[in-house]
Amino acid sequence: MIVVVCPGQGSQTPGFLSPWLENPEYARELQALSDASGIDLVAHGTVSDADTIRDTAVAQPLIVAAGILTLKALLADGRREKIAGIAGHSVGEITAAAGAGILSSTDAIRFVTERGSAMAAAAGLEATGMSAVIGADESELLAQLDQLGLSPANFNGGGQIVVAGALDGLAALAANPPAKARVIPLQVAGAFHTRYMTPAVERLTQAAASLTPADPDLPIWSNRDGGTVTAGARFLDLLVGQVSSPVRWDLCMAAFADAGVTGIIEVAPAGALVGLAKRALRGVPSVAIKTPDDLHAAIELIESDFAAAPSA
């Protein structure tokens, strides 16, 4: 049982799409996605610097475009029928929605472009940020967050919770962390997946109203609670609400385990979710597709797992 996972913001690095664009087919696809977004994703994936691609309005469509490129190559030649499902972390849920057939590639890239712009605008309204907390007792941390006016944003599993809120509250947490915990400030523009993103929800509600989602043709898990979603309209509603709600990636990974996952493949720009899986799903083989050279190992994992699966 192979699950394909799609990363969120922060996974991108300067020039990460350069190896992909050596293939004319991928170059044409990225240009088409770039045209649909109104953003020069070709330049941002190849020559833009770290500060430029850290901008939320740029990073989000860039990450989803990279995932769409990867999925088209990974799931070609009948391999789509050989995987057990798909899931995304935060903005990666839009990549997953495209992979599951809920949104077309064009609709996905237009929706994520609006999402990135809306979240960047919301982040600019107040000085907020995010920090990763590693190794804390969850109940102790949540109690401390409540006292400081902070919120949990990402429950990432493997002992990692990302928290968000006002900068003075994050500074207070760093100065007095929970027992045995480390607090690592993140280079992000604002408090994503919290109440601070409410203005973005309003914009995305309008954007979603113009879309016609299809029901998924692959099992897809939701960040809301780790459950599978069978209606495309419901998944689109969850995508809208997700920007101001916590990402429960820990529950997604628990659901993978309960379903009997035997392999994890992360699409570009890969690495973060495979890292979390190695801690939370110990012993489960994984492949991070960073460049086209990694496709061979990912395809081999799919084919070997399918060949080993018991026949119905």
Residues in the chain where the model's pLDDT stays below 70? 310-312
pLDDT for 187 equals 83
pLDDT for res 311: 56
Helices (H), 38-162: 41-46, 50-54, 56-74, 92-99, 105-123, 138-148
Domain ranges of the chain: 2-123+194-308, 128-185
User: d(Cα 196, Cα 145) in Å, to the nearest integer?
Assistant: 15
Considering just the CA atoms, what is the radius of gyration of the chain in Å? 19
Query: Which residues have C-beta within 8 Å of that of residue 204, sequence separation ≥ 6?
Result: 111, 114, 115, 118, 239, 240, 243
Per-residue confidence (pLDDT) for residue 307, from 0 to 100 = 84
**Which residue of the set 34, 193, 222, 244 is catalytic?**
193
Give the architecture-level CATH label for domain 128-185.
2-Layer Sandwich (3.30)
Among 3.40.366.10, 3.40.50.2300, 3.30.420.10, 1.10.10.60, name the CATH number for the domain at 2-123+194-308. 3.40.366.10
Q: Is 193 considered catalytic here?
A: yes
Two tokens at 226? Answer: 């780790």
CB atoms within 10 A of CB 149: 11
CA distance 229 to 209: 19
64 vs 265: CA distance, rounded Å: 16
Which of 90, 117, 131, 244 is the catalytic position? 90
pTM listed for this prediction: 0.94
